[in-house]
Structure 1
């Protein structure tokens, strides 16, 4: 029943206001993803690799929630447009009803006569005959719009209920993922970090660049040879988080500040993963960037990810591609607030992504592919 309600709700939106994808198919895909995620969550606890299983579960929830939020926005836009059309037509409808009411109250002999005589009466009858179908069509259209508004409002609530269930499931999966990562002990270590030297470097660095350029100072002993190398994947990497690029490299923000990396808008609690196999060079708070993850996917290459709420792993660990790095903030926001955000746009958090090669920043577009391409 819930699935049919959501599908019908979004299926009504086959109009220029809707996205290019068939709304009914999008709704079915969204609900299907959430159903699959719920099943995957039940199975993940007993999986051989719980981290990988739960990572996919969280991503499945994110995909389903994103699609469902998009459907709620479409429904809200469509309802607003219909309501505005009905409000603008309110005066015309009132005049029409007043005229019809006046005619209906007139005595029958008066309705059959005209001041201009029989010819005027005949002409008036012909005019009414021509107008009646148009009036009926207008009335039918208004009735359909009213019914669609009522249906949209009811079915938006059904979709909101599904969204609440999905948000609860996603939070459960994130909590289980955090626990699974804490219990993991099988990841290789490329080097060991000195916590004292790390603290000194954090305190003495006044820029992200100076900190990243001196990360070698925190290493205890020699680093192991080998490790991941990402050069063959240059230009083909996926973004580390599901979201959209809010500001590109060199594009100033509202304060006029230009940064060499990308600002990516994400949903609350979005999962951040390694775009490629990489070694953790640093994790923790840094300057005014919030929690920062710096990973090394290849010699001389650093990916800087800033603005996370939670960070996973240990400095020196070698992570496979697609391994969780942390979570964005906002997951603890009240559900009613998230539902309100769903009507306006769900990407309320921002992740900063910077790429450094041989101690120089490069445009992330040289490494990452986006939907624009």
Structure 2
């Protein structure tokens, strides 16, 4: 009831400010509760921290709106209390004058009233006036008592508004401190995660290189027996070539090296792949089913699918040089046969974006083939 009175007596701007502040506080509180619920349900730590930070920000907005509402309420209460005091003073003035007249009449000696002519008539007149005025005095007294009670309620409301203002300011300080602490914890956590990520990235690179070496060693050990068996099954030594005709191995040092297929280079020697392994050759993006040729002359020592690498052909060029062509679908080369530079080895796969990789090695070490391509 008191709030309705205050709103009715206050200027429209103050009423609107108070109502808007209360609506803003309620809306911010509602958003904060929803965000806190979302934070409790979030599984990811980063998402949970982000939502909690947003919830604290909404609580800060609610506290600021409550402070605005408390200040508006205090201003309205002070204005209404001043108006009540003025009204009380106006209503008390006639009663105070009447009481003063009655006190003056009461202090008048009775003998003097009898001795003076007309005193009895005056007494009768005064009593008649009092009989008429008394109901009015009683009514005004009730109004004065109501104004006094209203003033007391206004004073209590002013105290409550001051307390609400202090509580809102205290809450604002608490929420701001909570936000600072939350942001500090997130910065510390982020720095820790960055350091951990850097350490794990270096570790992943090292493990990737180690895994590649182990795969190569395992593949070599696994296939050594098969290669030896295949070589043992070959016919005896070839007759010595006629004078002037050189073997493919002897020609490797002078003949230019070539890429095994036409295509776009998508990965070069030493580049870091998404899995953290450095490339040991050149990877080409070729057309589906593209013809794959021998990069240089030599003897086929391995030609079959190998694990998830697809078809693999290894050519021994002699003098410690060898090439591995990886990613074939159909293989045309046969183990033990010799090939000239540019001889067909097979075809690339027919799927989307097929890739062919060629690795050149010198006594087991990867070599940059770019300087040998002619």
TM-score of Structure 1 vs Structure 2, range by shorter chain:
0.3 to 0.5
Provide the TM-score with structure 2 as the length reference: 0.36
Give 1 or 2: higher helix fraction.
2
Higher relative contact order (CA 8 A, sep 6+): 1
User: Radius of gyration: which is bigger?
Assistant: 2
